[in-house]
């Protein structure tokens, strides 16, 4: 009985020590920067101004012209009919642009939450034709630092978005009084607060680089943005939104035969589009974490993962996957690389952005490295397009072009420098 009494007293003392108090917590967070809807949608401007490229981005080639997206700023237009002497012929000011695609003389581009399109019958003089508002409702500006974002400032209590378009982030320092309980937090943890967003002749279609989140199949445009794959019917005078489906955190998309190959930080997913409006997930092949573009040729998928980004890993590899049976893909081999990014295939050659530029003859997957025929160093390649014996490669410091018609003498044709702006 005495023992029970002592235990009861001890428990009471312990409970008495459990008290609440407040403590100041300091943390950094990105707050949204808003622009009015009217100002945002009236900001598009097409100019013949030869604006210098100050940052690299996605690329698309169409009928002798190269379109280069400068992330969240707009699209540079280069006359590339003579790749030895390309010249800048215009610029499209387009806030929030990241991706582009071309079909039947129309250039389609994202502008944060909207899909915008231009008539490029004369590629040097695009004409704005229309805008599909709220095509990508959960699209937000890129976060350039490692801090979280306060998405609660974007939505009302009922879950609906506040008025205005989010066009940037402002890093703020906050100090708050947090209620705590002895031994741990009382309520939600705030320090280090981070929230991720759920988040030869005429060509009929443009050729995109491997880093693209836009791809074309038949008369449809597929766009992967913030965990959603959006489908647009391009057969009418203006795009028709045909819905979307959740596909996970997808970085890139590539169309091959009747399938879409989606590159994700955790692997590669394959979707059948035999029914274009109802894509069916066939399979997913997993690998270590890494941002990864995908290209496919002759039923072999080539996938790169690279370090030095927000994708959460330190591996740098090239994977080759047998995708003859899209329901049961099989990884055949992987190769250690330096820091591989974009890649492309043409006429039995694999072009790879890795420690500059690497070119391989494609044969047996197990002997790819032995069939390397070129390694040019000195640039940090991001993405590339090989087309009719001309390689167009965008790097952190410029646009490089090469003639590969003679494999014994792959030669540089031209370089346009990127002049980075400093903040």
Q: Which residues contact 119 (CB under 8 A, 6 or more apart)?
A: 105, 106, 126, 127, 129
The 10 Å Cβ neighbour count of residue 366 is 10
Taking the model in full, what pTM does it have? 0.86
Q: What does the CA dihedral 157, 160, 165, 166 come to, rounded to 10 degrees?
A: 50
Q: Which residues contact 36 (CB under 8 A, 6 or more apart)?
A: 163, 164, 165
Render each residue's pLDDT in the chain as its tens digit; 423 residues: 444 444 454 444 444 455 676 777 888 999 999 999 999 999 999 999 888 888 889 999 999 999 999 999 999 999 999 999 999 999 999 999 999 999 999 999 999 999 999 999 999 999 999 999 999 998 888 887 878 899 889 998 888 888 899 999 999 998 887 766 654 433 333 333 333 333 345 678 999 999 999 999 999 999 999 899 999 999 999 999 999 999 988 989 999 999 999 998 888 999 999 999 999 999 998 865 556 799 999 999 999 987 765 544 567 899 999 999 999 999 999 999 999 999 999 999 999 999 999 999 999 999 999 999 999 999 999 999 999 999 999 999 999 999 999 999 999 999 999 876 655
Of 356, 328, 335, 253, nearest to 295 by C-alpha is 253
For residues 373-393, one letter each, b for 16 or more C-beta atoms within 10 angstroms of the residue's C-beta and e for the rest, the string is eeebeebebbbbbbbeebbbb
Q: CA-to-CA distance for 266 and 312, rounded, in angstroms?
A: 10
Q: Would you give the DSSP letter of residue 82?
A: S
Q: Would you give the DSSP letter of residue 151?
A: G
Q: What does the CA dihedral 194, 199, 205, 206 come to, rounded to 10 degrees?
A: 0
Look up tokens 């704005």; give the residue. Answer: 128
CB 158 within 8 A of CB 132: no
- What pLDDT shows up at residue 159? 80
CB 108 within 8 A of CB 115: yes
The 10 Å Cβ neighbour count of residue 338 is 12
- What pLDDT shows up at residue 18? 55
CB 368 within 8 A of CB 335: yes
* φ, ψ for residue 375, nearest 5 deg: -145, 105
Alpha helices for 190-274 (secondary structure H): none
Of 172, 173, 177, 174, nearest to 24 by C-alpha is 177
Which tokens sit at 282? 């066939």
CB 216 within 8 A of CB 231: no
CB 48 within 8 A of CB 125: yes
Give the chain's largest Cα–Cα span: 99
Instruction: Report how far Cα 137 is from the mean position of its chain's Cα atoms.
Output: 17
Q: CA-to-CA distance for 108 and 105, rounded, in angstroms?
A: 10
CB 164 within 8 A of CB 34: yes
- What pLDDT shows up at residue 13? 44
Domain ranges of the chain: 23-204
Q: Which residues contact 233 (CB under 8 A, 6 or more apart)?
A: 219, 220, 239, 240, 242
- What pLDDT shows up at residue 144? 79
Q: CA-to-CA distance for 93 and 80, rounded, in angstroms?
A: 20
């Amino acid at each position: 009985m005495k023992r029970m009494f002592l235990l009861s007293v001890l428990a009471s003392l312990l409970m008495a020590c459990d008290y609440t108090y407040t403590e100041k917590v300091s943390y950094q967070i990105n707050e949204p920067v808003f622009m009015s809807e009217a100002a945002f949608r009236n900001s598009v401007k097409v100019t013949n101004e030869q604006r210098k490229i100050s940052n690299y981005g996605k690329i698309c080639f169409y009928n002798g012209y190269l379109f280069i997206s400068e992330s969240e700023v707009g699209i540079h237009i280069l006359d590339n009919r003579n790749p030895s002497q390309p010249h800048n012929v215009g610029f499209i000011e387009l806030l929030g642009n990241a991706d582009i695609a071309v079909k039947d003389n129309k250039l389609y581009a994202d502008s944060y939450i909207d899909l915008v399109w231009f008539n490029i019958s004369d590629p040097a003089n695009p004409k704005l034709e229309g805008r599909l508002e709220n095509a990508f409702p959960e699209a937000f500006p890129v976060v350039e630092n490692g801090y979280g974002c306060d998405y609660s400032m974007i939505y009302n209590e009922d879950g609906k978005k506040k008025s205005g378009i989010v066009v940037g982030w402002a890093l703020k320092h906050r100090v708050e009084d947090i209620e705590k309980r002895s031994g741990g937090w009382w309520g939600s943890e705030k320090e280090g607060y981070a929230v991720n967003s759920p988040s030869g002749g005429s060509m009929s279609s443009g050729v995109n680089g491997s880093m693209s989140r836009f791809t074309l199949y038949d008369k449809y445009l597929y766009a992967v943005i913030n965990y959603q794959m959006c489908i647009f019917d391009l057969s009418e005078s203006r795009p028709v939104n045909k819905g979307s489906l959740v596909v996970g955190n997808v970085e890139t998309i590539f169309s091959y035969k009747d399938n879409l190959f989606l590159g994700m930080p955790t692997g590669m997913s394959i979707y059948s589009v035999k029914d274009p409006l109802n894509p069916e997930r066939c399979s997913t092949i997993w690998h270590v974490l890494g941002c990864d573009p995908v290209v496919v040729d002759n039923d072999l998928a080539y996938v790169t993962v690279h370090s030095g980004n927000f994708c959460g890993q330190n591996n740098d590899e090239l994977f080759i996957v047998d995708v003859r049976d899209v329901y049961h893909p099989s990884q055949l081999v992987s190769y250690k690389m330096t820091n591989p990014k974009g890649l492309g295939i043409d006429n039995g050659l694999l072009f790879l952005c890795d420690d500059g530029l690497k070119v391989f003859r494609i044969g047996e997957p197990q002997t790819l490295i032995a069939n390397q025929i070129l390694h040019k160093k000195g640039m940090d390649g991001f993405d590339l397009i090989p087309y009719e014996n001309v390689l167009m490669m965008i790097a952190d410091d410029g646009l490089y072009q090469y003639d590969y018609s003679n494999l014994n003498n792959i030669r540089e044709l031209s370089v346009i420098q990127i002049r980075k702006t400093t903040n």
